[in-house]
Each structure stands twice: as C-alpha cells, then as structure tokens.
C-alpha cells in the first residue's frame, strides 16, 4: 500500500533551497553521494577555479580540462575528505596541483629575451590581465612567463585570488616561508619588467 508523503511535490529546480546552503553542508551531502549537492558546488566554484586555471596555464582548453579533471577527482576523493579544510580551499589545492603538473611538463621557464612576441600569446585566455592598458597587460602576461610554475602559482593565488599564506602553502604543497620567498621573487621579476617599459 502506498502512503502519500507528507511533503508534497518536489520543490522547483530553479529555486532549489540548497542554492543557499553553505559549502560545508553541501560537501557533507556530496560526501554521502548526493550528486545534486555536488552539482551546486561545481556551479558555485567553477568560475573562480576556471579563472585560476586560466591564469596559471594561459590556455582556455587546458584550463577547462584541468578544472574538469579536478572536480571529478574531488568527487572520487570526497569519501576521504574529512572536512578539515574548507571545500573551496580544498578545490584550490586540487586545481593548483593539476595546473602545476601541466606547467612542469611544459618546456622550462623562458628567460626574458627569449619570450614570444605578444602576438603569439593567447590573449583571449588571459582575462586576469586585461587591464585598461593593453600594453601593460601584455607586458605583465609576458613577465608571468618568466616565473617558475611555483612562483606563478603562489603569486596568482596571493595577488589575484587573495588567498592567505597558509592556504597557498597547502595548495602548492610547500612551507609558508617558501611561499613568501616565491611571491617575493615573482614581485621582483614583475616589477623589473615594468621598469623596462616605464
């Protein structure tokens, strides 16, 4: 015999109450296997993580691949996710790791004089650096190419994503003093480039 549920019809998808739910609650549900909760997390964090991956990789296709693989890896690893980190921080860590692996597999960091001409860069995929002055942006984008993958990751996470040193250390997998060192070297390299066109 069927007993009608007291709850009535399903809520409309457009106004899903979970859209307002905090990350921790959604991550807990996703850990239990609730794919709807996970989808809300994907849509909530996808834009920011794609921006990060694009800033690190300078290539839209590779960035989308990195974000996609990272979310799928996160779904698989959620049962072991103890909630000792915020979900967003945890995702930053997974995406950063994946991008660092891609960067390390590329050819070594180029010296300044060996840089490609700006026209060779993928402008469409450098939204972070689309400043008022296109020349400035291009110079900065080119300068970013002189950084090691770790310097680039630390600098982008700090200056463009506003992460604290502790979270960057965990995302990049190095100690906090090393993070400070990487960011300092990145700043030095970038200001040196800026002096050149001042």
Partner 1 sequence: MAMTPDPDPQAPGAPDADTLPCGTDLADLWEHGEPQPDHRTCPHCRRALADLDQLHDLIGTALTQPEPPAPPSLADRIMETVRTELRPGPLLPLGRPEDDDWITESAAARVLRHAAETLPGILAGRCHLRPADGTGERPLPGTRLPRRPLALHLDIAITTDWTTQDAARAVRRRVARAGTDELGVTIERIDVTVADVIAPTGEPNGSSNQ
Q: Could you say which residues in the range 38-57 bind partner 1, by CB under 8 A?
A: 38-39, 42-51
Residue 166 vs residues 40, 100, 115, 150, 169: alpha-carbon distances, Å: 27, 18, 32, 15, 5
Is 129 buried (19+), middle (13-18) or exposed (0-12) by CB count in 10 A? buried
* Binding residues with partner 1: total (CB under 8 A): 80
Work out whether 95 is an interface residue with partner 1 (CB under 8 A).
no
Work out whether 5 is an interface residue with partner 1 (CB under 8 A).
yes
- SS3 of 59, please? coil
Positions in 142-181 near partner 1 (CB under 8 A): 146-148, 150-151, 159-160, 177-178, 180-181
> Where does the chain have alpha helices with state H?
23-31, 35-57, 60-77, 87-105, 134-144, 149-155, 165-172, 176-196
Smallest gap from residue 97 Cβ to partner 1 (A): 17
Work out whether 115 is an interface residue with partner 1 (CB under 8 A).
no
Work out whether 116 is an interface residue with partner 1 (CB under 8 A).
no
Smallest gap from residue 75 Cβ to partner 1 (A): 5
Work out whether 24 is an interface residue with partner 1 (CB under 8 A).
yes
């Amino acid at each position: 015999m069927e007993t009608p549920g007291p709850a009535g019809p399903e809520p409309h998808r457009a106004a899903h109450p979970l859209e307002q739910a905090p990350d921790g609650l959604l991550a807990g549900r996703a850990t239990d296997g609730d794919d709807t909760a996970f989808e809300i997390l994907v849509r909530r964090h996808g834009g920011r993580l794609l921006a990060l991956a694009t800033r690190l990789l300078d290539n839209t296709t590779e960035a989308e691949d990195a974000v996609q693989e990272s979310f799928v890896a996160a779904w698989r690893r959620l049962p072991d996710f103890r909630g000792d980190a915020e979900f967003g921080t945890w995702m930053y860590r997974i995406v950063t790791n994946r991008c660092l692996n891609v960067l390390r597999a590329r050819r070594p960091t180029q010296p300044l004089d060996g840089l490609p001409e700006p026209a060779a860069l993928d402008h469409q995929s450098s939204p972070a650096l689309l400043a008022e002055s296109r020349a400035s942006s291009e110079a900065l984008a080119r300068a970013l190419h002189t950084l090691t993958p770790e310097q680039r990751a630390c600098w982008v996470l700090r200056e463009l994503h506003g992460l604290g040193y502790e979270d960057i250390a965990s995302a990049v997998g190095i100690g906090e003093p090393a993070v400070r060192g990487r960011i300092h070297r990145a700043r030095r390299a970038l200001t040196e480039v800026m002096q050149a066109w001042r």
